[in-house]
Amino acid sequence: MGEIITRFPPSPTGHLHLGGARTALFNWLFAKHHKGKFILRFEDTDRERSKQEYVDSILEALKWLGLNWDEGPYFQTQRLDLYKKFAQRLYEEGKAYYCECSKELLEEKKKEMLKMGLKPKYDKTCRDKNLGPGEGRVLRIKAPETGEIVVEDLLRGKIVFPAEELDDFIIMRSDGTPTYQFAVVIDDITMGITHVIRGDDHISNTPKQLIIYQALGAKPPKFAHIPMVLGPDGARLSKRHGAKSILEYREAGYLPKALINYLARLGWGYGNQEYFTVEELIEKFTLENINLSAARFDPDKLLAFNAYWIRNTDNKEVLEHLKYFLKAYDLSKFSEDYLLSAIETVKTRSKTLVEMAEMMQFYLVEEVIYEEKGAKKFLVFDIVPILERVVEDLKELPLEEKKLEEYFRNLSEETGIKLKNIAQAIRVALTGKTVSPGLFEIIKVLGKERVIERIKKAIKYIKNLK
C-alpha cells in the first residue's frame, strides 16, 4: 500500500462544530496512524454563504485542537480553471453535454413526475441535441442508463445503487462554477486522496461521484462513511442539545486534549479503555473499531473527560492554557513556581479552566474582597485575639501542612474556640470566601509574608466595624 492521504474539506459557511471536528479527527488519526498525509481544503464555491470569518474560525479551531495539516489550506474558488479544464475534457470526449432547459421548465417536469408517482429526475431532453456552450446552459454528465453503481464501503461493505435511480446530474453551472459533486472529485483526484472518511449523510453522493471517476478513467479513493453524531434524545445534534462550536468549548474552559479524547470516543473504541492521550489515539486508531451505531453526545460525559484531563495534565501545560483565562491579571508579578503551586491546590476541584481561574483569583490579587455572608459570620470581634496570636506565631512556624494542622488544633484546645471557627476566619481573611482549597495548602502557597499581611488586614477590617 502506497502513502495514505486523507482530507478534511469544510465549507466556510459556519463555525466548526463537534460533528465536523470528529470527521477531521478521524481523517487526521487515520493518516497519522499510517504515517501518511492529512490535507485541508475549503469548499467555498457557495459564494453567498462562504465568509472569511468562518475560514479564520475553522483554522483557529483546528490549530487549537492540534489537528495540524500537512498540505493546504486549498480553496476551491482558487481552482476554477482546473474544474473547467476537466469539464471541457468530458464534453469533448462525449461524456458530458450542455443542457438549455430552464429552471421553470425543470420545475414543471418535476411536478409532472411527482403527479405520476415517479421519482423526479432529469428526463435527458438535451442528451442528444449536441448543444455547445452558451448563455444559461449547464453541463451535465452522461450517467449510465442501465446496470448498477456499487459503493465498496470500508465500514458497511457493498452498497448497490441501480443506475436508473440516478439522472444526468449537473457538473458545471451556467455561471461556469462547478457543482459540489464535480469539484470534490476533481480535488480528490488531483490531490491524490486515497481514503475518504466522512459522515454517512454523504452515502447518497458517492454513486454520483463514482460516475465522474469512471467517466474520467480515474481510480476512486476508498470510502468509509461514519455514523452521524446525535443529541441525547436521538435527534440530529444541534445547538438545542447544548452543543457548541469548537471555539466556544475553548471559551468555556475545556482542554483541547479532553475534547479530542471525547470526540474519538464518539463512535470509536479500543477495548474498555476510556481515556487516551493523542499519542495513544494515533497508535491505536483503526477504521475497524468504528461503531456503526450513531454516537450520542453527552455534555455531562464531556465535562467529566475535561475534569479528568485537568487533574491528569502536567501543571506547566495547564498553566499555558489557563493564561488565556487570567488575562485580567499581571502574571509577570509571580514566579512560575508560585503559579504552579497554586494550580496544584485547585486542579482536583476544577471541571473547567474557567472554574480554575475563578478559584485562583485570591492568589493573584493584592487585596481580597470578603463575601458579605462569610465575613459577617466569621470575621467577628471575638476572633481578633486569635488572629493576632496567629500573626505572631506564624513568624516562627514552619509552613508544613502537618505542623500547621497540629498548631491550629492546639490553638483551638487552648482557647476553647472551635477549630472550624478559627479556620474559617483565616480562610475568609486569606481568600475572601468560606469555600476554597485546603487551608494549610493555601497558607503554604501564599507564603508567610502574604498570609501575615492578609490576616492583619482582616484584623483591621474587624476593628473598623466597631
Phi, psi of 157 (to 5 degrees): 80, -150
One-letter amino acid at 211 equals: I
- pLDDT reported for residue 1: 64
pLDDT value at position 46? 84
CATH class of 79-226: alpha beta
Query: Which runs of consecutive H residues, i.e. helices, occur in 312-438?
Result: 315-322, 336-346, 353-364, 372-378, 384-394, 401-415, 419-431
- From residue 238, how far is each of 62, 86, 230 by CA, in Å? 20, 38, 8
CATH of 366-465, one of 3.90.230.10, 2.70.98.10, 1.10.10.350, 1.20.140.10: 1.10.10.350
d(CA 197, CA 200): 9
Catalytic positions, written as ranges: 239
Residues in the chain predicted with pLDDT less than 70, given as ranges, are 1, 466
H or E element that contains 215? helix 206-216
Pairing of β 170-172 and β 222-226: unpaired
Question: Is there a cis peptide before residue 133, judged by omega within 30 degrees of 0?
Answer: no
Q: 106-134: buried (b, 16+ CB within 10 Å) or exposed (e) per residue?
A: eeebeeeeeeeeeeebbbbebbeeeeeee
Say whether 366-465 and 79-226 share the same fold. Answer: no
Contact 294, 227 (CB under 8 A): yes
The listed CATH number (3.40.50.720, 3.50.50.60, 3.40.50.620, 3.40.50.11900) that belongs to domain 5-72+228-309? 3.40.50.620
CA-closest candidate to residue 161, choices 96, 326, 169, 320: 169
- Give dist(CA 51, CA 31) in Å, integer: 28
Question: Percentage helix, strand, coil, to 5, in the chain?
Answer: 55, 15, 35
At 289, list the grid cell. 473499531
Domain range annotation of the chain:
5-72+228-309, 79-226, 366-465
- Helical H segments across 18-133, by residue range: 18-33, 52-65, 80-92, 103-115
